[in-house]
Chains A and B, each alone.
Chain A
């Protein structure tokens, strides 16, 4: 009795060649192992985390720079305004509170703003950033000449910036030293 080998052999051969073909095809296929994938994902996580931190660091820095810029530029423009106004004054007096005398200018600290008042109308010079302290100091030198010291400290969202200078009051002499938050003056 002849063994029924043909069918088995042919069937086995057929199945073997197909399986091998698939395996070979799988082996040839390009791809990643699980370990590679995990490493990739962890590196991606690191990159994203760093990117996220850098983005917010940049944003915070930008916000802080903007605030500081605003503070500094406010202080500088206020300083220039005060120097220009007071340099040529022909009368100067430091007061406790502003009054309403006609033809006199007043510069004073209103809350935390510097305000200029003249003939009933007021103009705000700075944002509410100025520390509540004496802004003006009247000085007298040995030759009885008067200088006006100006000192401002600005505070905004944790940033502090102080500016101080002195102006020679060329049309005024012999005033006694004084200091305060309100200055009354007359222009020529």
Chain B
């Protein structure tokens, strides 16, 4: 009797261990889909920021170096983020918008 109980317990353990590995891929893919949606939402916010006629002061400078020449571009860094999924994960986009 004891052997049977041990055997059934082992089978149960194996099933419990194997089941998550089967569903893990599906859960991850679902989360990746939610992340994509969040990225598109954030991109939408960046588009709105790009269209903004009266942005804040240009407080940031982007320096681009070509060989020995450095060009300094005044502008601002905009950061937008969105949450997704059930665990409250976040996706963030950081863009530099030069002065018009």
Contact = CB atoms under 8 A, between A and B. Distances in A.
Whether chains A and B associate is: yes
A180 to B, nearest CB: 20
Contacts of B53: 143
Contact of B47 (A43, A47, A57, A167): A167
Secondary structure at the A interface, as helix, strand, loop or mixed, is helix
Contacts of A54: 15, 18-19, 22
Contacts, number: 66
A145 B51 contact: yes
Contacts of A62: 25
Nearest to A143: B53
A165 B41 contact: yes
Nearest to B12: A50
B22 A170 contact: no
A170 B32 CA distance: 30
Contacts of B37: 162-163
B23 interface: yes
B29 A168 contact: no
Contacts of A72: 29, 32-33, 36
Contacts of A58: 22
A43 B6 CA distance: 11
A174 interface: no
Contacts of A110: none
A171 interface: no
Best-buried of A62, A65, A68, A69 by chain B (most CB within 10 Å): A65
Interface string A161-186: 11111111010000000000000000
A12 interface: no
B51 A168 contact: yes
A58 B26 CA distance: 11
Interface string A48-61: 00100010011001
A168 B50 contact: yes
A168 B43 CA distance: 10
A76 interface: yes
Contact of A65 (B4, B11, B19, B26): B26
27 contacts: A43-B7, A43-B8, A54-B15, A54-B18, A61-B25, A62-B25, A65-B25, A68-B26, A69-B29, A72-B29, A72-B33, A75-B36, A76-B36, A79-B40, A143-B51, A143-B53, A147-B47, A147-B48, A161-B33, A163-B36, A163-B37, A164-B40, A165-B43, A165-B44, A168-B48, A170-B50, A170-B51
Q: Which 6 A-B pairs have the closest CB atoms?
A: A165-B40, A168-B47, A166-B44, A168-B51, A72-B33, A58-B22
Interface of B: 4, 7-8, 11, 15, 18-19, 22-23, 25-26, 29-30, 32-33, 36-37, 40-41, 43-44, 47-48, 50-51, 53
